[in-house]
Amino acid sequence: MGHITFLVAVVIATALAFDFTNGFHDTANAMATSIATGALRPKVAVLISGVLNLVGAFLSTEVARTVSGGIVDDALVTPAMIFAGLVGAILWNLMTWLLGLPSSSSHALFGGLIGAVWVGAGEHGVHFEMVVEKIIVPAVLSPVVAGVAALLATYLAYRLTRRARERTVGRGFRIGQIASASMVSLAHGTNDAQKTMGVITLTLISCGALGKQAGPPVWVIGTAGLAIGLGTYIGGWRIIRTMGRGITDIQAPQGFAAEAASTAVILSSASLGFALSTTQVCSGGILGAGIGRRLAEVRWGVASRMAVGWLVTLPSAAAVGAVAAAVVVHGGTAGIVVIAVLTAAVAGGIVLLSRRNPVRADNVNDAHDVAVRPSAPAVAAA
């Protein structure tokens, strides 16, 4: 391991930090509706999801062979650019968590990389037609498909059970939800942990610590799985509240339909190699389930705020990644230290801000909205 330089060590640590934010940002995808309907107690839900994410990391050996799946020119990417891209992704993930916005961790990562490569290697390093084909088109279509599927399924579920015993129906669907939520968690672990493993493995290959065709060493699989599992267990409660209570008031049949739809979309598109966002698919599913039940109130304000969040995720992470890349590329080791310290400071500041109006396991179901200001819980966070 004599090849591991300071820069490589920093990239690995940053990749694991991103993996952690990825985990706690995305706990909501699998578990928000189960927590909202009471199918699982909050702490139990995040424990199951965390363990399944860790298991998922070990189950799948198909680690990405490229950093980005062709979105940027991998031949031009240096560890410094990867570091800058990860910084952009981490800061955007923390920002949206503070606001309780379910935004895509994958888009944050790709955005950060695009910005970093654009500045570090020039415009020709970014393959814009691939960005449209692999990110933007699936981002628009996948939530719509999940939404339509969840809408139809929810409508059918309520239509067919309207004469059945309410208690039996509620209990049945709550048990079903445990299975459907677990499937989403496992699929998440096999997908998202791989991204971090891919980033670390390619960094190790680029510095000569691993051979050209090497797979990820066991310690990389283990640490990446642990980081995402731990992040999931810590739980992004602010986002869980928005997805479970904010978009619509979810009942057990809706939660089951939404999760079944999300699982179906994630699994059926996996073979096509889309950079599908679990977050967007699950949000679409929940929205569809909200529309599918008559009399259910869908909070379009929350939904449109979320949609705006999706639109700005990639460019925002790209902007942060670009600034970080500019400093790192021109500043060398000193630049890396400056960016690392700044990132830690901003991250710490965001965590402190969240303390003013905390959302935890014990109050996650108490309200619909996530506020940043302490005194005015009714005012939507701006």
Partner 1 sequence: MNLDWNAFGEVAGVSVGATVAVVTVFVLGVLALSQRETARESGRGGGSALTAAGLCFLACAAAVVYGLYLIIPGFHG
Footprint on this chain of partner 1 (rule: CB under 8 A):
56, 59-62, 129, 132-133, 137, 141, 145-146, 148-150, 152-154, 156-157, 160-161, 164-165, 168-169, 172-173, 176, 179, 183, 186-187, 190, 253, 256-257, 260-261, 263-265, 267-270, 272
CB nearer to partner 1: give 49 or 96.
Answer: 49
CB nearer to partner 1: give 161 or 365.
Answer: 161
CB nearer to partner 1: give 260 or 303.
Answer: 260
Using the CB atoms, write b or e for 274-300: b if 16+ within 10 Å: bbbbbbbbbbbbbbbbbbbbeebebbe
Shortest spacing between CB 167 and partner 1, in angstroms: 9
Token representation of residue 171: 């209990």
CB nearer to partner 1: give 152 or 340.
Answer: 152
Shortest spacing between CB 72 and partner 1, in angstroms: 16
Degrees, nearest 5: CA angle 81-206-319: 10
Phi, psi (deg, nearest 5) at residue 239 = -75, -35
CA 137 to chain centre: 18
Shortest spacing between CB 62 and partner 1, in angstroms: 5
Using CA atoms, how far residue 296 sits from 33, 155, 174, 290, in Å, is: 15, 11, 18, 6
Shortest spacing between CB 372 and partner 1, in angstroms: 36
Shortest spacing between CB 117 and partner 1, in angstroms: 19
CB nearer to partner 1: give 62 or 362.
Answer: 62
The candidate with the shortest Cα–Cα distance to 101, out of 246, 256, 314, 263, is: 246
Token representation of residue 40: 């699982």
CB nearer to partner 1: give 123 or 129.
Answer: 129
Shortest spacing between CB 297 and partner 1, in angstroms: 22
- DSSP letter at 223 equals H
